[in-house]
Amino acid sequence: MELTQMITIFNTSTTTVKLAIDIFTFLKADQCNAIRCLLSDFRDVKAQISQSKKDDRELTAEIIVIKNEMSQSSKRNQEMSAELAVMKEQILQLIKIQESSTVCEPPAQIIFGTLKCSADAYVVGTSCVVHCSNNRVPYSEGSYQLGGNAITCMENGEWSDDFPTCACPRCSTGDHCQWTTSWNELKKDIESDGGSSSLNYAGNRITTRIKSGFHSWEWKHTCYCQDAKNNAHSAHCQRLSRYGSCEHACATLIKKMAAKGLYEPPCDPENMDRFC
């Protein structure tokens, strides 16, 4: 082989080797870039997976809270449904009573007393009894009903009798029936102290004052009986005895005051002394 041909072959081989080295270097650099890209993508995916798990945990917690609230709401709804069912039953019973039964008018309020009935609704067959307080007793049509007679709702929608009021027993008065309206009781107080006293009639205080002396050659007693609140209301009487003069004077005062409506009338006026 000639020298010129050998140099040509050598130059050609060198160029080929250089080209091969350049290609390997390019491929190696590109491969490294691809690996770095894959690692970066892997890290991103891992971060996304971690965030997704965190989101799942938060979502699960929210779901649990919602389920608890729904459970409590369901319990409240059940309780309300039970209450509504009871109310509905009560309303239906009242409607049934009103539609199927005759109802009497509700009784008026009892002053100083209460009304106890056998049923809440005043339907046919319901009976009521008046119970009085403050030492009072049932009173109706001029008589006292000491036995507490029952009054019943009848089929015609009327009560079997008028409801009584609660009144003080005979010959007593006051909020607790603590005062007497009996002339006989007042007369005993006058007789017990000879007429010189402070008396109480039906809650009204009465004072008496006696002056004694000779009149027409006789020893006589003049009794002055006055209302303690107003001295203008008074009466006097002159008799031979101290209590006799005060009996007549006080009887006169009580009759006058009762006629004016300032005192309650005596329960036993037939026993009162005549005017002096």
pLDDT of 26 > 60? The answer is: no
Asked whether residue 226 is domain-assigned, the answer is yes
Average pLDDT over residues 195-205: 83
The structural domain count of the chain equals: 2
Residue 236's H or E segment, with its range, is strand 234-239
Express each pLDDT in 228-276 by its tens digit. 888 778 888 876 677 678 888 889 999 999 999 999 999 999 888 766 6
Asked whether residue 61 is domain-assigned, the answer is no
Asked whether residue 237 is domain-assigned, the answer is yes
The CATH number of residue 153's host domain is 2.10.70.10
Q: Which of 167, 188, 205 is the last residue of a domain?
A: 167
Give how far Cα 46 sits from Cα of 13, 37, 168, Å.
49, 14, 98
Residue 97 shares a structural domain with residue 129? yes
Asked whether residue 66 is domain-assigned, the answer is no
Strand order of the β-sheet with 127-132 is: 113-117, 127-132, 151-152
Residue 153 shares a structural domain with residue 209? no
Express each pLDDT in 31-66 by its tens digit. 445 555 655 665 666 677 777 677 777 778 888 888
Q: Which of 139, 167, 195 is the last residue of a domain?
A: 167
Beta bridge partners, 123, equal 103
Residue 158 shares a structural domain with residue 192? no
Residue 101 domain boundaries: 86-167
